[in-house]
Amino acid sequence: MSVADELRVKPGTVPDLSAIDPRATPGWDGDQAAAILRVRELKSSLADFQQRLWAEKTRSLLIVLQALDAGGKDGLIRKVFTAFNPQGTQVTGFGVPSEEELQHDYLWRVHAHAPERGRIGVFNRSHYEDVLVVRVNELVPKNVWEKRYDQINAFERHLAENDTRIVKFFLSISRDEQRRRFQKRLDDPAKHWKWSDGDLDARRRWDDYLAAYTDALARCSTDVAPWFIVPADRKWYRNLAVAEILAETATEMAPSWPPAEEDLSAVVIPE
C-alpha cells in the first residue's frame, strides 16, 4: 500500500486522531537516511512536474496545510516545496482577517489567492480556520460555522471543476512533541519572534481542537479534495510522506509539454 493510500482520509469515514501515532511511519520501511535520499529524488521529479505544469498552463495545483501550533508547516515548506520554482509558486499564510476581509464572506480572501493556471498555490493555514479556531473560540455561533462544511466542499468542488487540483495535509503531532518544540522557541532567542501566549491558550484546548479537526477531516475529505493525515513528530517522515503524495499527484495530473506554435525545423540561428 502506498503512503498516499495509508494516509488518505477516505470519504465518509471518521478518523480517530487519538489513535494515530504521530511517530509512526506508515508506508515506509526504510530509515531516516534513506528517507532523506528519497526526498531528494522526489524533489527532482516535482521540479520537472512544475515545469510541465507551467508550460501547459491549463491547470493548477493547490496544496493546503493545516496543523496545531508548532506542527511543522513552515519547516515542511522549506524542506519540500523548495523543489518548486518560486516564479510559479505562491505561498499564502492566512492569519487573523483584516477589517476589509471581515466585510466579505469568509471565503472571499481565500478565493483571491487560488492559484492561476500553470501555477502551484500553497496555503499555510486556510479556509479551514473558519471551522477550527473560529469554532473553538466561539467567534461565531454554531449555527453559522456548522453550515461551512458544505460551503467549503462546494467551494473546493468549484475549484476542481475549473481545473485546480487540490491536496490537503493535516500534520499530526503529539502533545509531548508540541511541548518540546515550544520549549525550543523559548530557549532560542532567534525563535522568540515565533512565540505567542495564544499558543498556550490553544494548547489548553487541545481536545477541543482535535474534535474540530476530526469533524473537518471527516466532513471535508472528498474525491476531488482529499485530506491526508501525516504523522509529523518525525520531521523526516513528514517531509517524505508529503513529497510522496505530491509525486503521486503529479503523476496522475501528467502535464505535457505543449507543441510548438509553428514548425521549427527550418529555423536557422545566425552566426
pLDDT at 100 exceeding the cut of 90 = yes
Question: Phi/psi at 112 (nearest 5 deg)?
Answer: -65, -20
pLDDT, tens digit, for every residue of 138-152? 999 999 999 999 999
CATH code, 3-253: 3.40.50.300
DSSP states of 163-231 = TEEEEEEEEE--HHHHHHHHHHHHH-GGGGGG--HHHHHHHHTHHHHHHHHHHHHHHH--SSS-EEEEE
Phi then psi for 233, rounded to 5 degrees? -65, -40
Global pTM value: 0.96
pLDDT of 266: 76
pLDDT tens profile 55-65:
999 999 999 99
Q: Which amino acid is present at 106? A: Y
| pLDDT score for 137 | 96
Compute the distance between CA of residue 129 and CA of residue 131 in angstroms, rounded to an integer.
5
Q: Quick: pLDDT tens for 183-199.
A: 999 999 998 988 888 88
Q: Look at residue 11 in the predicted model and tell me its pLDDT.
A: 98
Q: What percent of the chain has pLDDT over 90?
A: 90
* Whole-number Cα distances in Å, 10 to 17, 111, 157, 175, 250: 14, 25, 16, 25, 20
Query: What are the tens digits of pLDDT across the range 23-37?
Result: 999 999 999 999 999
pLDDT range class, residue 167, cuts 50, 70, 90? very high
Calculate the average pLDDT of the chain.
Answer: 96
CA distance 114 to 159: 8
